[in-house]
């Protein structure tokens, strides 16, 4: 059975892990940019916005990039009061201007000290950690280490310690870390290994995983994400999360659902 699943999943990875996949996926947003810091910021926003209709996610992410004059890093570092006022009209579902202004404040704080957003995740992890669990917990605490945190903004950054599956942040880490030269994932970061990544899981992915007998846990929480990733490691220990393409394809693309 394991051989059959691997063969099926490898075929789906080959089908979806290619440049034609990009246009209809939120990863198209960071791929608008060449500058590393722009890619990191655009990618995090696109990932955080990734719930609901994928076309809406892409359009709202693009709208925000345009408000930031298609230079998100420069905007976050240099925007004055007049420029920041442009952001007050932005809203995507429950993400509003209060949240956005805190994100900008965080980016300004972080990039004044570090060259890459990768450092915001690796501050909380060790090189030999089995997964990115401590990276995500560390990022949560670091992100909310500034004074005067809007409490409402906390819901937009997940953490394993809060029992979340961390679907959107795991997707973001997949984008930033994986580099298989397929032209989809960006592979900018080198301090986190693809082997440490955890598979993004939502209702579509869980449905497919259960169909194949890969997931028994009912709550879609961090333990479910670890259970699924543990099985995927039996298919490819060094790069288990490449099978996100297979699970996503079977769960969304082949069922013609617009959500992820």
| Domain ranges (residues) in the chain | 2-255
Task: Provide the 8-state DSSP code for 142.
Answer: H
Tally of CB atoms within 10 A around 168: 23
User: What is the Cα–Cα distance from 110 to 140, expressed in whole angstroms?
Assistant: 13
Q: Check whether 158 has a pLDDT greater than 90.
A: yes
Q: Are 16 and 249 in contact (CB under 8 A)?
A: yes
Token pair 């479910």: residue: 224
Quick: pLDDT tens for 77-121: 999 999 999 999 999 999 999 999 999 999 999 999 999 999 999
- The confidence band for 1, taking pLDDT boundaries of 50, 70 and 90, is confident
* Mean pLDDT along residues 141-159: 97
Instruction: Give me the pLDDT at residue 258, please.
Output: 39
Owner of token pair 């980016």: 107
Look at residue 161 in the predicted model and tell me its pLDDT: 98
Residue 131, phi-psi category: left (phi > 0), alpha (psi -120 to 50), beta (remainder): beta
pLDDT class of 46 with cuts at 50, 70, 90 = very high
Please give the model's pTM, rounded to 2 decimal places: 0.95
Structure confidence by residue, pLDDT tens digits, 54-81 = 999 999 999 999 999 999 999 999 999 9
At residue 260, does pLDDT exceed 80?
Answer: no
Cβ atoms < 10 Å from Cβ of 166: 27
pLDDT for the residue numbered 159:
98
**Residue range 14-28: mean pLDDT, rounded:** 94
Q: What is the pLDDT of residue 254?
A: 56
**pLDDT tier at 144, thresholds 50, 70, 90:** very high
DSSP helix/strand/coil, 60: helix
Q: What is the largest CA-CA distance in the chain?
A: 61
At residue 75, the pLDDT reads 98
């Amino acid at each position: 059975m394991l051989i059959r699943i691997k063969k099926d999943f490898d075929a789906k990875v080959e089908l979806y892990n290619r440049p034609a996949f990009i246009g209809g996926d939120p990863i198209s947003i960071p791929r608008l940019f060449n500058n590393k810091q722009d890619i990191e910021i655009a990618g995090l926003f696109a990932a955080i916005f990734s719930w609901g209709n994928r076309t809406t996610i892409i359009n709202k992410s693009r709208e925000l990039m345009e408000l930031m004059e298609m230079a998100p890093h420069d905007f976050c570092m240099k925007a004055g009061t007049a420029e920041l006022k442009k952001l007050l009209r932005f809203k995507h579902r429950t993400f509003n201007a209060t949240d956005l202004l805190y994100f900008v404040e965080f980016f300004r704080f972080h990039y004044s000290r570090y060259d890459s957003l990768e450092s915001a995740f690796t501050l909380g992890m060790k090189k030999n950690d089995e997964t990115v669990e401590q990276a995500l917990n560390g990022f949560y605490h670091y992100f909310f280490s500034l004074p005067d945190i809007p409490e409402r903004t906390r819901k937009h950054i997940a953490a394993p310690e809060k029992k979340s599956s961390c679907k959107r942040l795991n997707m973001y880490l997949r984008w930033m870390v994986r580099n298989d030269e397929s032209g989809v994932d960006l592979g900018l970061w080198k301090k986190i290994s693809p082997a440490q990544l955890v598979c993004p899981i939502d209702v579509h992915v869980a449905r497919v995983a259960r169909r194949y007998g890969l997931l028994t846990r009912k709550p879609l929480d961090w333990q479910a994400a670890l259970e699924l990733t543990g099985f995927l490691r039996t298919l490819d220990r060094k790069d288990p999360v490449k099978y996100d393409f297979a699970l996503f394809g079977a769960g969304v693309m082949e069922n013609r659902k617009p959500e992820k």
